[in-house]
């Protein structure tokens, strides 16, 4: 049930959302590319929906070629088929499978997470089975072969120095846990792998928030209520900013959000700008109209 529909803008205003969903994946892709595998980064740049591509490879024996525009089209069509046939839980398995595989999760963990997430979404848990989860994981790793390199690189850094320095400048020291026999325990390894993607996504959102706040134009350009910004940030949710602005300031909103999220960041040896999706609507839960 969508409870976000209860969060509404003030009269004469619209609600907006700027979403960096999938942002974590860009960090993972940049790290893999730095270590020699640009596949994930190229797929993301081409706009390919990765879980759908994995599903296509798994179910239809699809062999992606060099033409990424075609891959993108095929993945989109596959997803449409999946949703039309009511197999949303299978799509959840593909999404979670990919997400957890990025951070070294096992097929057992994927299964556990899918059960928890389908329960959280629908109130009824769905069990994908261990076999399917293993196949999703293996298919994912067959395409993105740079992932184990990234895992080993991260584990090496934490084992040798006890710390990780992120692209955002954050230095995280993994204090209480020490590697046994030169090997990191699973929990520390997962936390270490998830650290930088989360740090980067949050950093970009916070930077965008600050840019909107400190932009003088956002306070003076045709402002109706003195002392309040035109583009108002009312919520920060990990990979998303949300807020409101007056309906007649929609073009201004589009321009300011684009500028706020235009933040090149260097991760490893790759400099990229993580794209965002801007949507508006009559409530937080009904933001469906693209900017």
Partner 1 sequence: MNPVTSSTLPSLPAPTLLDRLSWLHAQGRLGLPLAFDTEGEEWMTCCSLAWMEGAVSKALVVDTLSLRDHPYGPSIWSALTAILEDSGVIKVCWAAGHERGFLQWTHHITLRGYRDAMNLWAERWPELAKRLKYAATILTRIPCWTEGISFNEDREEAQATGEKLWRYNGTDSIATLQIYQHPQLQLTGAQADRVAFHTALIEPANWASQKGIAYDQDRSSALREEILPKLWEAQADVDDQAGVEPLNPDQVLAAAADALCHKTRMKRSLAGYKERVASMDDTGQPVLNKRGKPVKTTIEHSPRILSWTLCLEHANKDCRQPLLRLKELAEVETPAAQAEINAILERGINVKSSGESSQVIALLNRLGLPPVFKRGTHKAKPDDDEQGVMPSQSKDQEALLSLFLRTGHPVTIALLKVMSIRGQLQELARGVSSDGRIRCSYTVGYGTETGRTTTHKWLDGAGGNLQTVPKD
Work out how close the CB of 111 gets to partner 1 at its nearest, in angstroms, rounded to a whole number: 7
Specify the residue for token string 């400190």. Answer: 214
Closer to partner 1 by Cβ: residue 36 or 169? 169
Nearest distance, CB of residue 7 and partner 1, angstroms: 5
Using the minimum distance from each CB to partner 1, give the nearer residue, 62 or 209: 209
Q: Which residue has the tokens 């979404």?
A: 121
Residue 244 in contact with residue 15, Cβ under 8 Å?
yes
Measured from the CB atom, is 172 or 250 closer to partner 1? Answer: 172
Rounded to whole angstroms, the Cα distance separating 226 from 188 reads 49
Query: Among 99, 88, 84, which residue's Cα sits nearest to residue 128?
Result: 88
C-alpha dihedral sign at 46, 51, 52, 55:
positive
Q: How far is the CB of 129 from partner 1 (least distance, A)?
A: 11
User: Read out DSSP for 117-146?
Assistant: HHHHHHSS-----HHHHHHHHHHHHHH-TT
Which residues contact partner 1 by CB under 8 A?
1-10, 111-112, 115-116, 119-120, 123-125, 127, 168-176, 191, 194-195, 198-199, 202-203, 205-206, 209-210, 212-213, 228, 232-238, 243, 283-285
Quick one: 236 or 255, whose CB is closer to partner 1?
236
* Least Cβ distance, residue 134 to partner 1 (angstroms): 16
- CB of residue 124 to partner 1, shortest distance in Å: 6
CA pair distance 17, 123, nearest whole angstrom: 26
């Amino acid at each position: 049930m969508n409870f976000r529909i209860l969060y509404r803008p003030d009269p004469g205003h619209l609600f907006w959302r700027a979403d960096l969903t999938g942002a974590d994946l860009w960090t993972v892709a940049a790290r893999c590319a730095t270590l020699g595998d640009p596949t994930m980064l190229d797929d993301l740049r081409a706009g390919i929906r990765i879980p759908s591509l994995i599903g296509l490879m798994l179910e239809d024996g699809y062999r992606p070629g060099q033409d990424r525009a075609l891959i993108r089209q095929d993945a989109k069509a596959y997803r449409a088929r999946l949703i039309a046939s009511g197999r949303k839980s299978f799509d959840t398995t593909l999404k979670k499978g990919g997400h957890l595989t990025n951070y070294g999760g096992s097929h057992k963990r994927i299964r556990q997470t899918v059960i928890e997430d389908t329960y959280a979404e629908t109130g009824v848990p769905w069990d994908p089975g261990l076999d399917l989860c293993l196949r999703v994981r293996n298919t994912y790793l067959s395409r993105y072969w740079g992932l184990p390199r990234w895992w080993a690189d991260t584990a090496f850094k934490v084992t040798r120095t006890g710390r990780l320095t992120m692209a955002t400048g954050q230095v995280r020291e993994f204090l209480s846990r020490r590697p046994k026999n030169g090997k990191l325990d699973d929990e520390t390894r997962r936390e270490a792998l998830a650290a930088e993607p989360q740090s980067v996504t949050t950093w970009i959102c916070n930077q965008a928030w600050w840019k909107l706040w400190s932009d003088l134009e956002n306070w003076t350009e045709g402002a109706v209520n003195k002392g309040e910004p035109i583009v108002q940030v009312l919520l920060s949710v990990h990979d998303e900013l949300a807020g409101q602005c007056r309906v007649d300031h929609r073009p201004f909103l589009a321009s300011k959000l684009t500028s706020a999220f235009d933040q090149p960041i260097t991760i490893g040896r790759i400099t990229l700008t993580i794209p965002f999706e801007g949507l508006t609507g009559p409530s937080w839960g009904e933001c469906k109209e693209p900017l």
